[in-house]
């Protein structure tokens, strides 16, 4: 397999060296000092959401338009940007110790890696995406079996071929370089397998979904040998813990309020919570301090109900992580 440098422009790759071009943080370590963790970050559709997630998790990643090696405020990590489609190959081959990529591309590449954590987000939302089988809205095809012998266009040919083969259907799967939805409209394909989050782009091209090929999301994956090294395994575990914690906090807020003892039962009855709310006595009074975590979308209805139940001094605050 080519090294990561083979996928970079000549001005960035520094020739045909095996692995990423050295950045200043890659300088040789003193004897006995552990080498930094080589972390791959996805470039492209997942990039901005991933960087925001790292910020909420406690790592500041700074991009530079001049190279593929972002700065990160952690001396134990060296970052490299590469396409999510290639990430699992580089991790499997040990060019990278770990990386964030889609489940879909790991399956497409059939990469032998350690799946450390599921990170349920896609390019624009904190949710999974779907690879779907779509055909012309007014066409003759209503189910996958109708496509036997037909041409399917997709950017995920390996998974698509295996999916049809598992169902005993022989089809002509053709790799698409993009603008896949338009292939059916222009007559270049009978059906497409395309990724979608809401289905709106599929419908906008006059297509209808007749089956689902795969549900996918972002994963934190690791090279198996790197994951056996105690120091690297611990660092990868730290990444997984805090990234998952940041995802859990999305759409959640903290609420804190004061409640008289006589009203506590009525107030608590209104509180949806991850766990039982925290209740503490205020010093030398019959007042209690109540703290809990709730879905942010429920706050507009919840606060009036809490006030009616006897709560006072309600404070709402944002959350970065729930661990």
- pLDDT band, very low/low/confident/very high, at 155 (cuts 50, 70, 90): very high
Query: How far is 122 from 113, CA to CA, in rounded Å?
Result: 20
Amino acid 230: pLDDT: 96
Do 243 and 161 belong to one domain?
A: no
Instruction: Tell me what the mean pLDDT of segment 74-83 comes to.
Output: 96
Q: Which residue has the higher pLDDT, 67 or 308?
A: 308
Do 62 and 107 belong to one domain?
A: yes
Residues 252-290: pLDDT tens digits? 999 999 999 999 999 999 998 667 899 999 999 999 999
Burial of 158 (0-12, 13-18, 19+ CB in 10 A): middle
Tell me if 105 is assigned to some domain.
Answer: yes
Contact status, residue 36 vs residue 25, Cβ threshold 8 Å: yes
Of 107, 120, 121, 132, give the one whose Cα is nearest residue 45.
Answer: 121
Number of domains in the chain: 3
Amino acid 205: pLDDT: 86
Name the residue range of residue 186's domain: 129-215
- If you average pLDDT over every residue of the chain, what do you get? 89
Residue ending a domain, among 170, 191, 215, is 215
Amino acid 185: pLDDT: 86
Tell me if 323 is assigned to some domain.
Answer: no
DSSP string of 26-42, one letter each residue: GSPPPTTPPPPEEEEEE
Helices (H), 206-263: 224-228, 230-249
Given a cut of 80, is residue 208 above it in pLDDT? Answer: yes
Do 225 and 114 belong to one domain?
A: yes
Do 15 and 122 belong to one domain?
A: yes
The least confident of 116-120, 123-127, 307-311 is 123-127
- pLDDT band, very low/low/confident/very high, at 1 (cuts 50, 70, 90): very low
* Structural tokens at position 246: 């940041």
Tell me if 142 is assigned to some domain.
Answer: yes
Helices (H), 167-210: 182-185, 200-204
DSSP for residue 22: P
Instruction: Tell me what the mean pLDDT of segment 141-170 comes to.
Output: 97
**Buried/exposed code over 47-78 (b: 16+ C-beta within 10 A; e: otherwise):** bebbbebbebbebebebeeeebbbebebebbb
Find where tokens 């979904």 sit: 209
Contact status, residue 37 vs residue 232, Cβ threshold 8 Å: yes
Given a cut of 70, is residue 98 above it in pLDDT? Answer: yes
Do 108 and 9 belong to one domain?
A: yes
H or E segment at 302?
helix 299-309
Do 42 and 159 belong to one domain?
A: no
With a pLDDT cut of 90, the percent of the chain lying above it is 76
Do 28 and 76 belong to one domain?
A: yes
Do 113 and 28 belong to one domain?
A: yes
Query: How far is 295 from 18, CA to CA, in rounded Å?
Result: 47
Query: How far is 237 from 83, CA to CA, in rounded Å?
Result: 23
Q: List C-alpha distances in Å: 196 to 46, 49, 180, 220.
A: 14, 16, 12, 21
Amino acid 64: pLDDT: 79
Do 13 and 105 belong to one domain?
A: yes
Do 119 and 183 belong to one domain?
A: no
* Structural tokens at position 150: 């037909």
3-state secondary structure of 267: helix
């Amino acid at each position: 397999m080519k090294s990561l440098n083979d996928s970079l422009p000549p001005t960035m790759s520094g020739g045909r060296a095996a692995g990423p071009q050295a950045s200043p943080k890659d300088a040789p370590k003193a004897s006995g000092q552990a080498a930094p963790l080589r972390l791959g970050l996805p470039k492209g559709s997942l990039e901005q959401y991933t960087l925001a997630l790292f910020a909420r998790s406690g790592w500041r990643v700074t991009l530079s338009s001049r190279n593929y090696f972002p700065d990160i405020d952690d001396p134990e990590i060296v970052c490299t940007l590469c396409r999510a489609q290639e990430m699992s190959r580089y991790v499997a081959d040990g060019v990278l110790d770990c990386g964030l990529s889609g489940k879909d591309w790991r399956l497409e590449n059939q990469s032998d890696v350690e799946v450390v954590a599921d990170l349920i987000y896609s390019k624009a939302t904190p949710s999974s995406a779907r690879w779907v089988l779509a055909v012309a809205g007014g066409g003759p095809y209503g189910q996958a079996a109708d496509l036997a012998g037909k041409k399917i266009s997709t950017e995920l040919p390996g998974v698509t071929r295996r999916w049809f083969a598992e169902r005993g259907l022989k089809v002509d799967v053709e790799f698409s370089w993009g603008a896949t939805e338009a292939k059916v409209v222009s007559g270049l394909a009978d059906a497409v397998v395309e990724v979608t989050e809401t289905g709106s782009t599929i419908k906008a091209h006059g297509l209808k979904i007749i089956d689902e090929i795969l549900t996918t999301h972002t994963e934190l994956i690791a090279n198996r040998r790197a994951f056996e090294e105690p120091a690297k395994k611990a660092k990868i575990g730290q990444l997984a813990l805090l990234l998952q914690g940041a995802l859990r906090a999305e759409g959640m807020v903290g609420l804190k309020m004061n409640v008289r003892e006589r009203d506590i039962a009525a107030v608590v009855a209104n509180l949806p919570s991850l766990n039982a709310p925290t209740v503490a006595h205020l010093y030398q009074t019959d007042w209690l301090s109540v703290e809990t975590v709730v879905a942010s979308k429920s706050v507009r209805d919840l606060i009036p109900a809490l006030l009616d139940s006897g709560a006072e001094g309600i404070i709402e605050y944002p959350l970065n992580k729930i661990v």
